[in-house]
Amino acid sequence: MHNKGKQTDVIIIGGGLSGLAAARTLKKNRKTVTVLEAQSRVGGRILSTSIKGSIFDLGAQWVSPHQHRIQTLIKEFGLSTTSTYKEGTTLFALFGKKKQGLGNKPPFSRLSLLDITSFENAVKKMLENIEPSKPWESPLGQKLDSLTLETWLEKKMFSKYGKAFYRQVYEEGLCGKLSEASVLDLIWNIKTTGSFHQNLSAEDEWITNGAQEIPNRIAEELGDTVQLDHKVLQIDWGESEVKVYTEQGVWFSKKV
């Protein structure tokens, strides 16, 4: 490591979409920011590639027309979306079996469908008590944030297929296990999308030029703020300063 250090107000570790969006906001608020990205590209879980002239997304790809922040970025950068092809029969795969459904309605027994409806109604009631800008300050915020989705789903639903259906939907949507997310994560996600069923529209569109165009455009705008191939090795937290060590040297900042 080099002894020479570089000073910045805020260091952001990771050049995924969240890190880049945070850097962009901070720069607009006249803060000096450095994004340290371990890989030689930006995007994180978003990765697009070209094969014989066609664009393929190997990571995150779909967007909902109701996801306002991502839609704002799409318009701002002059990108376009294409509707997902939905013609034909919907197949639901659960417990190693495939069943045909009618539209988005799962082919379950009346008891399982009743369980799903009851669960959706419980979620809708909770939405009324969540403030989207500061969900943690809502009356139920702290309580919901202390419960994992895993625990809550087991408590709220009784049918085997109902539980399996929503487990699959939310683990895909949250890109993780139900034990890794709180109930507040889910409720806030639905609240900011607009409604329970709008939240399920997350695969209605995809970005024509590939999803990675968004992080690429933000990184281009940020310029030298983004440092690629800068793997963070160590962080030392002091009372008034933070030291972040990479193979290229030491970075000093107020926040990380």
Q: Which tens digit of pLDDT belongs to each residue from 50-105? A: 999 899 999 888 898 888 889 999 999 999 999 988 788 888 888 888 888 776 67
Dump pLDDT digits (tens) for 126-148.
888 888 888 888 878 888 999 99
Mean per-residue pLDDT, 232-236: 97
| pTM of the full structure | 0.78
| Cα–Cα distance measured from residue 225 to residue 232, given in angstroms and rounded to the nearest whole number | 16
| Cα–Cα distance measured from residue 119 to residue 158, given in angstroms and rounded to the nearest whole number | 10
User: Residue 55: beta bridge partners?
Assistant: 50
Q: What is the pLDDT of residue 4?
A: 56
Structure token pair of residue 228: 């690629």
In this structure, are residues 47 and 246 in contact, taking their beta carbons and an 8 Å threshold? Answer: no
Choose among 186, 120, 116: nearest CA to 158.
Answer: 116
